[in-house]
Amino acid sequence: MTRILLAIDDYNESIYLQTLLKKLGFDVDSVAKASKFADTLLGFNPKFIIMTAHGKSIKGIEISKTIVKRNSLPRLFLLKHQGQVFTSGELTEEKIDKVLESPVNILNLIKCLCEFDETLKYDLISSKLSNILTIDKEVQEKEEINISTYKHEDSEELLHIKGENVEKTPVAIAKSSLKEEDRALKYQNFLQNMESPPKGVGGFPKESIKEYNKKHRVKNRSQDMKELDENKKEFVRALYSHLKKPS
């Protein structure tokens, strides 16, 4: 498996290339700071190194001067921004093998890799790349469809609050899973099972409800507190068990 080391200053481009190259079957590692380059290079021993030529954290031209090649390896590719010009003597043929524009064209990069590694077959890799990009595009389109469908369905469940910003203040409507007649029957059963339910004609008087709630809370407070304590203990035990698991 061909090893590629990325030392790219742009985080997004580094992640993009690392992910795509791994999908294509390459063994890829990356560094984001020049201080970690030497140790990673020694342990990884890559066949290709792709570096930012002039970056804030990665200065590929300076790093290339410290690299000792054996049998022309590792191959060094520099990434430069469009329109960037190198001064006389910055690039040496024995050190730098290719200069590519950033953001790098993945197909162009594959051509360059195949140019310097005869074991890599451009037709096979480009075909695999085409399949990967097609699948990724289909997944992205499905996600966009699902998101738009969700937003459409969700918008039908919104109710606007009255006020100055009526159109900008949505509130979700709570929907019951029970039918209206089932809810009425359940409520009647609830009243029948209550001890001394508050009485009212055409509705319950406010004072009767407050008095009933007061008695009900006092009566069930001890049991409720006991259940709450048990729930707290169970949560702490579950959290402790989770933290003990190896990451």
Q: pLDDT (tens digit, 9 = 90+) per residue, 83-122? A: 888 887 777 767 899 999 999 999 999 999 999 999 999 9
C-alpha–C-alpha distance, residues 60 and 112, integer Å: 18
- Report how far residue 8's alpha carbon sits from residue 58's, in angstroms, rounded to the nearest whole number: 7
Q: Tell the residue number behind the tokens 């290709």, with chain if given.
A: 48
Reported as a single tens digit per residue, the pLDDT across 121-151 is 999 999 999 888 887 666 666 655 555 555 5
Instruction: Give the 3-state secondary structure of residue 77.
Output: strand
Nearest by Cα to 51 from 37, 68, 71 = 37
Whole-model pTM over 0.95:
no
**CATH number belonging to the domain at 3-120, selected among 3.30.420.40, 3.40.50.2300, 3.40.50.460, 3.40.50.300:** 3.40.50.2300
- What are the domain boundaries of the chain? 3-120, 180-244
Strand partners, 98: 77
Look at 14-18, 73-77, 182-186 and tell me which has the smallest mean pLDDT.
182-186
H-helix or E-strand containing 102? strand 98-102
Rounded to 5°, the CA angle 207-174-225 comes to 55
